[in-house]
Amino acid sequence: MTDSPFRGVIPPVVIPLTEKRQLDLEALERSINRMIDAGVDGLFFLGSSGEVAFLTDAQRYHVLQEAIAMVHGRVPVLTGIIDMEPMRVVDQAKRATGYGVDALVATAPFYALGGPKEVERHFRAIREHTDLPLFAYDLPACVHTKLDPTMLVRLGEDGVLQGVKDSSGDDVSFRWLCLQNEDAGHPLQVLTGHEVVVDGAYLGGADGSVPGLANIDPASYVEQWRAAQAGDWERVRDIQNHLARLMFVTREVKATVGFGAGVGAFKTALWQMGVFNTNQMREPVCALEGEDVEQIVAVLKRAGLMDADAPIRQAHWDACPVSPGAPACK
């Protein structure tokens, strides 16, 4: 499937919010245009970086409707159809299809956990209800199931899956997936969700990357992909070292963990760079403040993404607007 449109750099889009935690359309369009202008090969909406787990169905559809209009066919659009069990996922798929997306991305089932047979039936059931390209989203940290490479390739050979977005962090399993996929004739587009070892994934045969960090520095990921295609592996490594240091934005966060530290750091960086208007997060996650913001700015300056003398932007909103009596994010 080397002629597939789903290859190269496909960032999972971080979604900006207003001070009152509403969808910020101005900032979203600015961010989308910035990534497309940098040369990305596609955009992935409603994934982990897009805080899909925190959205109501109405909020999901609002994001998707606006995003499709903003992209306006310039690059392929993939969307997450993340839900607990097959028929709930199918409902998400039908809605997404109506908005004109180009491909669907689904995790293994979760909450009512099963075994390997149920996971395989899950993807086969989704396929019965959609004709769009379907990617398996390997995300064991969130759904508590690691997708087996042999099963994934079998589903690719059977036409159930057209690709895999691997965010497992399991480099051994990913390498096996690439090898087995190639042995089977390359039925799957294999994309790494890594930010820090994309160079290794490309050497192993990955068809592209889906790095959240590309929201911050899309140009470097695009240059890295093009260098890999040209066989300039020294340049690939040099760019990866720059990106690995840039990923320190998530390591510097001390006030929280999980989405607040990862996506929260991305939002804070985009806010400080002037791409977003705030760094607000979805309830119940608080926006980063104080020393965390200062450390993220320091990383951006060292990476050359902010001028050395640029001031730190100050928040004039409540970073954790919650109901009375709820615990503060301090």
Query: What pLDDT score was predicted for residue 186?
Result: 98
Provide mean pLDDT across the span 149-165: 98
Whether the pLDDT of residue 153 is over 70: the answer is: yes
Instruction: Please return the burial class of 258, using the count of CB atoms within 10 Å of its CB with bins 0-12, 13-18 and 19+.
Output: exposed
User: Confidence class of residue 213 from pLDDT cuts 50, 70 and 90?
Assistant: very high
Provide mean pLDDT across the span 290-299: 97
The residue assigned the tokens 């951006």 is 300
Q: What is the mean pLDDT of the chain?
A: 94
For residue 287, the one-letter residue type is A
Whether the pLDDT of residue 318 is over 70: the answer is: yes
Can you tell me the distance from the alpha carbon of 81 to that of 137, in angstroms, rounded to the nearest whole number? 10
What DSSP assignment string belongs to 139-160? Answer: -HHHHS-PPPHHHHHHHHHTTS
For residue 293, the one-letter residue type is V
Length of the chain: 330
Q: Which DSSP state fits 217?
A: -
Give the rounded percent of residues in the chain with a pLDDT score beyond 70.
96
232's CB contacts (< 8 A; 6+ apart) are none
CA 62 vs CA 13, 22, 23, 252: distances in Å: 14, 11, 9, 33
pTM, rounded to two decimals: 0.95
Query: What pLDDT score was predicted for residue 323?
Result: 52
Can you tell me the distance from the alpha carbon of 297 to that of 146, in angstroms, rounded to the nearest whole number? 35
Sheet holding 43-45, edge to edge: 8-9, 208-209, 189-192, 163-166, 134-138, 103-107, 77-80, 43-45
Can you tell me the distance from the alpha carbon of 197 to that of 257, in angstroms, rounded to the nearest whole number? 21
Give the bridge partners for 79, in sequence order: 45, 104
Query: What pLDDT score was predicted for residue 325?
Result: 54
Give the rounded percent of residues in the chain with a pLDDT score beyond 90.
87
Query: What pLDDT score was predicted for residue 209?
Result: 98
Whether the pLDDT of residue 63 is over 70: the answer is: yes
Dihedral sign for Cα 94, 97, 101, 104, please: positive
The residue assigned the tokens 């790494």 is 192
Q: What is the pLDDT of residues 19-54, one digit of tens each?
A: 999 999 999 999 999 999 999 999 999 999 999 999
23's CB contacts (< 8 A; 6+ apart) are 15, 16, 17, 59, 62, 63, 66
Would you give the distance in Å from CA 259 to the centre of its chain?
12
Query: What pLDDT score was predicted for residue 201?
Result: 97
Whether the pLDDT of residue 324 is over 60: the answer is: no
The answer to whether 221 and 9 have CB atoms below 8 angstroms apart is: yes
Domains of the chain by start residue, with CATH: 8-233 (3.20.20.70), 247-330 (no CATH)
* Tokens at 10, concatenated: 């496909």
Provide mean pLDDT across the span 167-177: 94
Can you tell me the distance from the alpha carbon of 11 to that of 305, in angstroms, rounded to the nearest whole number? 18
**pLDDT higher at 125 or 257:** 125
Query: What pLDDT score was predicted for residue 313?
Result: 96
The answer to whether 286 and 253 have CB atoms below 8 angstroms apart is: no
Provide mean pLDDT across the span 259-269: 94
For the chain, the farthest-separated pair of C-alpha atoms sits apart, in whole angstroms, at: 59
User: Confidence class of residue 2 from pLDDT cuts 50, 70 and 90?
Assistant: low
Give the bridge partners for 305, in sequence order: none
